[in-house]
Structure 1
Amino acid sequence: MKVIIIGAGLGGLTAASAFAKSGHEVQVLERSPKLNPTGGGISIRPSASKVIQSWGFQSTLEQICDRSPSVTYRELNTGEIRTTVVDAPEHADWGSTRRAFVKLLQYQAAQAGAQIRFGANVVKVFDDETKATVTLEGGEELVCDILIAADGIKSHTRRAVLSDLGPPEKWDPIIDQTTFYSFDMAVSELTVDPRSMKLTENSNITTWKGEGGFVVTRYSSKFGRIGLLFAIQGETDQKSLWDEKGDIEFVRRFFKDACSDMVKALGIAKSCDRWRVAEVPDLPRWSSKAGRIVLLGDAAHAMHPNAAQGYSTIIEDIGVLQLLLSAGSTASVPQVVNAWQAICKPRAERVKAFSRWNTKHLSGKTEHAIGVSHADSVLEKVVPDKNADFSSLEFWKWNADYDAIGEAKKYLAETNSTPSKL
């Protein structure tokens, strides 16, 4: 099957690697002249690590990732641990830097046979019952069986595929009143001062809950670096979703009463990126009307980053689509795409709602706290419940330890289908 992917970000390169390894003919179109990944650290949550294991990519990813068995919540002003939520041991959380992930995925995709074209600017997409067509700047046309748009939160493809459902701005990102300031620094700069030792105690995702703002940190022992995201609620002078000119002095003033770990880190910081938190509204569908153009990742369900599930839900989406497009399938692409959305869309939208809730929770805007009554909240024996309160361990278990491939197989069994008989 011919697969064209728009965008060589995390989602596009992951899809390219997975589909090429499955034997599909894959071409990635990237409008930039080269890869230049920006942003903070990346997490692969237990739900996504199950998919990674099914691909056989685990040993490769472990070369650049730290594994952590839990998520830690601390008080921002004191540094005191509020609770630690312990994941199931067989599917631990992995984390690394965005740059390392993109570099590895590019290599993996190329090794699997995917072609990556840089400077390929897509100006038009179209599909019908038999094929999808991409027109590049300059007039070149490319034809494929399925077109996957991984062109991000400001996706141009999203507007095109939903053009029959109302004005295009209806599906534009919803911008939140929260701004992230991203810092990355060598651990050697911090550990000389005992006031910052909490930042390197372990490789857990650590969230520091405050009032009107919060911090998320993660230590990478593989690269000897610490990533810090400082979140501030309220208006700023920023005009776009992303820029590279964060005001360090503003961040220092806002967090001047935070614990010594944060004050120390901000004191040695030299520069930071910043971006406004945003999400894509729940879409009526993730595909074109004809069903051969699909939206992947942030193009379909960009969410607040505060569930650490943005990339993980992309991996889940790819794993399910790969299963449904498995070798030997005689189902049409539109049939496969319909089943894929039925499986993945409700999951992503529920996680997105939780991420939005957690933005408020971490800034002190909600009544309940995750695991507040559990000094050490172990998930292993908790029964998952997607409809439970967001502050409950039952929901946390469903969020973190979901089995996307298992749910896809369950869907096929319940509909009396196979990938070849959708």
Structure 2
Amino acid sequence: MDPETKEIAIIGAGLAGLCLALALGQQNIACTVYESRSASLNIGGAIMLSPNSLRILDDLEVYECIREKGFNFDYVEYRDVEANTIEKHEFGSYEKHGYKALRIYRSIVIDAFLTKLAKRNIPVVYGMKFKCIVTEAEDGVIWESADGSQHSASMLVGADGIHSTVRDYLYSGLTPAFSGIAIIGAKLPAMQLKLTPGFHLPVTLMSKRGAFIIAPQDVHCTEVMIGKQKRFEDPGIAGWDAVEADKQSMVDFLQKEAQGFPEIIHNAVSIIPTENIAIWPFYTVPRLERWSSPQYRIIIVGDAAHAIPPPAGQGTNQAYEDVYMFALLLAQAKKADIRKALNFWQSYRQGRIGAIMALTNQINLRRMPKEEGKEDEQLEDFNLDWLYSVDLKEVVDDWICT
């Protein structure tokens, strides 16, 4: 396949889709991003970016645009009910990995992507909703948008999230599974916590009743997110609107759960404006047999292929790994068979996703209330050099040379 003969269509202008467009552009592969909404997705709160994805953003010349616009940190502290530090888990390090971890508003990263894409004349088309695949052949794909118009592309990539419409072409009727856990969180001014000098953020405060998480939201730590996980019966996709609408119940949950926690938590939940509170249910996608269609012209990436719950902070990071490695391999299409390349891509990526899901499950269990008589356990082997120090260019080059 010659990726330069016809452009690639990217469905979804979220973090994964925009990063993919920039990575393809770096490889001189033509692409267009299509977004169903009428404007960029500058919604949502802060995300956590770790060295494995910051290395990618650095190569795409985005990192320096955002580095000073978020909160840089090395580790997360775990503290007990008396606020004593019991563990420190590394999330970044200049010395070891070349980057600190970065917690930053999603909108800042999206704006940085859009600025870079505009400079490189890579188009983003808004108000164009993907409807279905019309035909797929050896030399490309024809797809239809909701307005009835048809479009052709050499490949079509679904970067359209956990409830992906593109994925329906590969797996008709597949429904993401609710994990039974959601996090209820609220944005608060940091001064409300009345932090003592030297108190480290981010922090997870542990008790048998579960854990409270406190994380900075902005570069100067003037705003924080405080949250706690809760078990739920699955209300169904539509049912979450009713749960989300009952803001006072979520406020009551956080305030009630503050019992037995240090004063910092009592301060945090003392005032929670209902407009500042939200809920994030954890959904997952089962391990999929393939991320590519039989003709290898339809691809899914990010949450469409593997939704990762947020406790390990790797959802966005792994989406960036997906698309960056995909672009590197596609650029080598003249040197390696694209089918073999995409099979290698999926196999390699699923190996990392599996390890991250295991880590996520460990963290999930730690944050939930403990059964009577059971003590909290430390995480198994929290040395994450394998996660943070990956060099995907080297991985691809090694595969090409074999």
1: distance between equivalents of 2:389 and 2:109?
A: 22
CA offsets 1:60-115 (integer angstroms, 9 cap, x no match): 1213222212222223x333221113444223211101222222222222223221
The match for 1:267 is: 270
1: distance between equivalents of 2:107 and 2:188?
A: 14
CA offsets 1:181-230 (integer angstroms, 9 cap, x no match): 2322333x42xx63x448x845x543333435323332233473212232
Q: Which runs of 5+ in 2 are unaligned?
A: none
1: distance between equivalents of 2:239 and 2:387?
A: 27
1: distance between equivalents of 2:100 and 2:220?
A: 16
The match for 1:218 is: 215
Contact 1:14 1:105 in 2 (8 A): yes
Contact 2:284 2:309 in 1 (8 A): yes
The match for 2:166 is: 157
2: distance between equivalents of 1:393 and 1:157?
A: 36
Provide closer, same or farther for how the CA distance between residues 273 and 59 of structure 1 changes in structure 2, counting only shifts above 3 A.
Answer: same
Matched, 1:393 2:396: no
CA offsets 1:138-193 (integer angstroms, 9 cap, x no match): 22111112211111111121121234xxxx23xx2121221112322333x42xx6
Contact 2:16 2:302 in 1 (8 A): yes
Deviation at 1:328, TM superposition (A): 7.7
Provide closer, same or farther for how the CA distance between residues 338 and 361 of structure 1 changes in structure 2, counting only shifts above 3 A.
Answer: same
Secondary structure of the structure 2 residue equivalent to 1:216: strand
Deviation at 1:310, TM superposition (A): 0.7
The match for 1:301 is: 306
The match for 1:255 is: 258
The match for 2:324 is: 319
Provide closer, same or farther for how the CA distance between residues 83 and 121 of structure 1 changes in structure 2, counting only shifts above 3 A.
Answer: same
Provide closer, same or farther for how the CA distance between residues 91 and 24 of structure 1 changes in structure 2, counting only shifts above 3 A.
Answer: same
The match for 1:233 is: 231
1: distance between equivalents of 2:67 and 2:107?
A: 15
Provide closer, same or farther for how the CA distance between residues 139 and 63 of structure 1 changes in structure 2, counting only shifts above 3 A.
Answer: same
Matched, 1:91 2:99: yes
The match for 2:155 is: 146
Matched, 1:406 2:402: no
Letter in 2 for 1:402: V
1: distance between equivalents of 2:150 and 2:375?
A: 54
2: distance between equivalents of 1:277 and 1:151?
A: 17
Contact 1:217 1:228 in 2 (8 A): yes
CA offsets 1:354-406 (integer angstroms, 9 cap, x no match): 21232112225598978x4xxxxxxxxxxxxxxxxx61134x33233333333
The match for 1:118 is: 126
Say which is worse superposed, 110-119 or 400-409, in terms of deviation: 400-409
Letter in 2 for 1:105: F
The match for 2:67 is: 62
Q: Percent identity?
A: 20
The match for 2:77 is: 72
Letter in 2 for 1:248: V
- 1:355 equivalent among 340, 354, 360: 360
Contact 2:48 2:103 in 1 (8 A): yes
Contact 1:210 1:363 in 2 (8 A): no
Contact 2:144 2:151 in 1 (8 A): yes
Matched, 1:133 2:142: yes
The match for 1:380 is: none
Contact 1:205 1:217 in 2 (8 A): yes
Letter in 2 for 1:224: T
2: distance between equivalents of 1:241 and 1:313?
A: 28
The match for 2:347 is: 342
Provide closer, same or farther for how the CA distance between residues 197 and 408 of structure 1 changes in structure 2, counting only shifts above 3 A.
Answer: farther
CA offsets 1:128-147 (integer angstroms, 9 cap, x no match): 21102221012211111221
Provide closer, same or farther for how the CA distance between residues 211 and 149 of structure 1 changes in structure 2, counting only shifts above 3 A.
Answer: farther
Letter in 2 for 1:80: N
Matched, 1:22 2:27: yes
Deviation at 1:248, TM superposition (A): 1.2
Secondary structure of the structure 2 residue equivalent to 1:218: strand
Contact 1:178 1:277 in 2 (8 A): yes
1: distance between equivalents of 2:83 and 2:137?
A: 57
2: distance between equivalents of 1:139 and 1:369?
A: 56
Letter in 1 for 2:312: A
Contact 1:212 1:232 in 2 (8 A): no
Contact 2:130 2:165 in 1 (8 A): no
Deviation at 1:43, TM superposition (A): 1.1
1: distance between equivalents of 2:387 and 2:89?
A: 12
1: distance between equivalents of 2:37 and 2:85?
A: 43
Letter in 2 for 1:257: G
TM-score by length of 2: 0.85
Letter in 2 for 1:267: S
TM-score by length of 1: 0.81
Contact 1:178 1:234 in 2 (8 A): yes
The match for 2:285 is: 280
1: distance between equivalents of 2:279 and 2:269?
A: 14
The match for 1:376 is: none
Provide closer, same or farther for how the CA distance between residues 55 and 100 of structure 1 changes in structure 2, counting only shifts above 3 A.
Answer: closer
1: distance between equivalents of 2:375 and 2:390?
A: 23
Paired residues in the alignment total 382
CA offsets 1:275-326 (integer angstroms, 9 cap, x no match): 2111111111111111111111000110111111111111111221121122
Q: How large is the Cα RMSD of the aligned pairs?
A: 2.7
2: distance between equivalents of 1:403 and 1:29?
A: 29
Aligned pairs for 1:175-190 (under 5 A) are 175-187=178-190, 189-190=191-192
Letter in 2 for 1:273: A
Letter in 2 for 1:143: S
